[in-house]
């Protein structure tokens, strides 16, 4: 029952993120990174190799004033994640383009 709820929540959150399409205007979905395991944040693991990931994301930048962002929690291990992602610099190759409401919480934003 809990797994069914988590999968339903996963699909609900993913439906909020627009899929990137070549030649189309790419809109960035706002995302907030949280450290809390309470509530409904989506557990995401950033993978170092594209072959290990379920989806490819592009981070377009910061969007601190965005309303109603999707909440994600970063986890270190793929086994603990609801979704594994690979980050790309090329938005045309991404499944999802996101912007971060709190970019300091995102590991790659510190580089």
pLDDT (tens digit, 9 = 90+) per residue, 34-69? Answer: 887 677 789 999 999 999 999 999 999 999 888 889
Rounded Cα–Cα distance for residues 75 and 35 (Å)? 9
Helix (H, G, I), strand (E, B) or coil at 6: helix
Q: Distance between CA atoms of 73 and 24, rounded to whole angstroms?
A: 29
Identify the CA nearest to 58 among candidates 93, 23, 103: 93
Query: Per residue in 21-33, pLDDT tens?
Result: 444 445 789 999 9
| CA gap 7, 88 in Å, rounded | 25
The Cα–Cα gap between 58 and 39 comes to 25
Distance between CA atoms of 86 and 93, rounded to whole angstroms? 11
């Amino acid at each position: 029952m809990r797994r069914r709820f988590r999968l339903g929540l996963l699909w609900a959150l993913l439906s909020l993120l627009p899929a990137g399409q070549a030649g189309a205007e790419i809109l960035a979905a706002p995302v907030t990174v949280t450290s809390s395991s309470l509530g409904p944040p989506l557990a995401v693991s950033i993978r170092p190799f594209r072959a290990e990931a379920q989806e490819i994301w592009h981070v377009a930048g910061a969007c601190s004033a965005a309303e109603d962002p999707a909440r994600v929690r970063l986890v270190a291990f793929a086994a603990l994640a609801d979704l594994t992602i690979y980050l790309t610099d090329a938005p045309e190759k991404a499944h999802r383009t996101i912007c971060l409401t709190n970019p300091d919480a995102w590991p790659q934003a510190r580089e």
